[in-house]
């Protein structure tokens, strides 16, 4: 449903010192939206701090060439002197990591700009459009409402957001409106050919070796309707990869012919199992993820389960079995 951006424009007008952030394990949509909107606020003379809540993946270092993205570290004393918080590309507490308790204590207004169905009460003005293919679109709408001037670097950031959340325009959420916005961003200076190279053609040897492990461990369940694989925390030392190198590997599980649901289990360095869910069409995996305290989109969701790998996998597979379509 289209968003009325006037309350956001009023919100921006009332405040001067902003903290912008996105979810843990940041992706192109969250980061690109944050960078573009942050630049638009700076155009209006606002003081802006842009924070990641976990390590900025090397894949997205091109979004931080100016060094304006900081890593949030508790207790967060460096950012207490703020009078407004904007959270992009998530509306759930469990996706805010160590920032969540910090944000709860901040006595200032907050805004959530997001396109996910799963939402918690973050005590914020909620600007959510689940029909949007990416938060990058909402960032563009917000900047337009503010009367901002989209620079080439802002266009790059929003194009990366739009492209990555549509699987480089391959997924079913890519609509005629998606291509129209992509065209507009190119006219404003976005460089698709350079962005593609930065995002897809800079793999480290460690990531490629980790990819090989994920492929070698592919398993089929339930007459070929489900495919899953897993990465163990010891795999990082064995391959020279980093935890952020697991991004996108879940897509291999859904790419197998006949699979309805793909699952990717990743042992977290600290504790717990991160589960990524992917669906072709008939299964709403956001509902599955919500059973385990997570959420997301109908065809792509995630959750973290505090249990050993074998237990987490067994519980998730049983939940998937219960919702698989017959035939």
Count of CB atoms situated within 10 Å of the CB of 266: 24
Mean pLDDT of 164-189: 96
Cα gap 245→267, rounded to integer Å: 13
Tell me which H or E stretch contains 192: helix 192-200
Cα gap 75→231, rounded to integer Å: 31
Predicted confidence (pLDDT) per residue in 249-265, tens digit: 999 999 999 999 999 99
For every residue of 107-175, DSSP letters joined together read -S-EEEEE--S-----SSEEEE-TT-S-HHHHHHHHHHHTT----HHHHHHHHHHHHHTTTTTTSTT--
Backbone angles phi, psi at 59, to 5 degrees: -60, -30
Q: Does one domain contain both 213 and 179?
A: no
Q: Does one domain contain both 213 and 194?
A: no
Does residue 229 belong to any structural domain of this protein?
Answer: yes
Question: What confidence score (pLDDT) does residue 246 get?
Answer: 95
Question: What confidence score (pLDDT) does residue 153 get?
Answer: 98
Domain boundary among 185, 200, 215: 200
Q: Does one domain contain both 127 and 17?
A: yes
Q: Does one domain contain both 189 and 214?
A: no
Question: What confidence score (pLDDT) does residue 269 get?
Answer: 86
Q: Does one domain contain both 88 and 15?
A: yes
Q: Does one domain contain both 73 and 23?
A: yes
Q: Does one domain contain both 72 and 185?
A: yes
Confidence grade of residue 2 (pLDDT, cut at 50, 70, 90): confident
Q: Treating both helix axes as pointing N-terminal to C-terminal, what angle do 135-145 and 6-14 enclose, rounded to 10 degrees? A: 70
Q: Which of 260, 262, 265, 259 is nearest to 246 (CA)?
A: 265
Confidence grade of residue 327 (pLDDT, cut at 50, 70, 90): low
Are 86 and 15 within 8 A, CB to CB?
A: no
CATH number at residue 179: 3.90.1640.10
Mean pLDDT of 129-138: 97
Cα gap 190→136, rounded to integer Å: 13
Predicted confidence (pLDDT) per residue in 30-72, tens digit: 999 999 999 999 999 999 999 999 999 999 999 999 999 999 9
Range of the domain at 283: 205-323
The number of folded domains in the chain is: 2
Using alpha carbons, list the distances in angstroms from residue 95 to 36, 76, 162, 181, 307: 21, 17, 20, 28, 18
Predicted confidence (pLDDT) per residue in 191-201, tens digit: 999 999 999 99
């Amino acid at each position: 449903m289209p968003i009325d951006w006037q309350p956001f424009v009023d919100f921006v007008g009332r405040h001067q010192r902003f903290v912008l952030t996105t979810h843990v394990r940041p992706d192109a949509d969250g980061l690109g939206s944050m960078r573009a909107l942050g630049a638009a606020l700076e155009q209006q003379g606002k003081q802006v701090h842009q924070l990641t809540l976990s390590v900025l993946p090397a894949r997205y270092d091109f979004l931080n060439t100016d060094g304006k993205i900081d890593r949030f570290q508790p207790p967060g004393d460096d950012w207490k002197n703020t009078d407004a918080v904007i959270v992009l590309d998530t509306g759930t507490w469990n996706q805010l990591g160590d920032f969540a308790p910090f944000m709860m204590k901040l006595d200032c207004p907050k805004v959530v700009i997001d396109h996910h169905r799963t939402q918690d009460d973050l005590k914020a003005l909620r600007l959510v459009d689940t029909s949007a293919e990416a938060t990058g679109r909402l960032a563009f709408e917000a900047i337009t409402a503010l009367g901002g001037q989209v620079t080439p670097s802002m266009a790059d950031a929003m194009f990366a957001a739009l492209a990555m959340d549509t699987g480089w325009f391959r997924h079913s959420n890519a609509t005629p409106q998606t291509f129209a916005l992509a065209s507009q961003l190119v006219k404003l200076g976005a460089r698709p050919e350079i962005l593609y190279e930065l995002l897809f053609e800079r793999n480290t040897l460690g990531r490629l070796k980790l990819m090989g492990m994920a492929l070698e461990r592919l398993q089929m369940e339930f007459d070929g309707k489900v495919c899953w694989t897993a990465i163990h925390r010891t795999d990082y030392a064995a391959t020279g990869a980093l935890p952020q190198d697991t991004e996108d590997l879940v897509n291999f599980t859904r790419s197998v012919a006949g699979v309805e649901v793909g699952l990717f289990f990743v042992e977290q360095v600290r504790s717990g199992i991160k589960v990524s869910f992917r669906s072709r069409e008939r299964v709403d995996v956001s509902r599955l993820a919500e059973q385990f305290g997570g959420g997301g989109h109908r065809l792509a969701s995630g959750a973290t389960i505090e249990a050993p790998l074998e237990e987490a996998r067994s519980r998730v597979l049983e939940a998937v079995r219960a919702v698989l379509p017959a035939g």
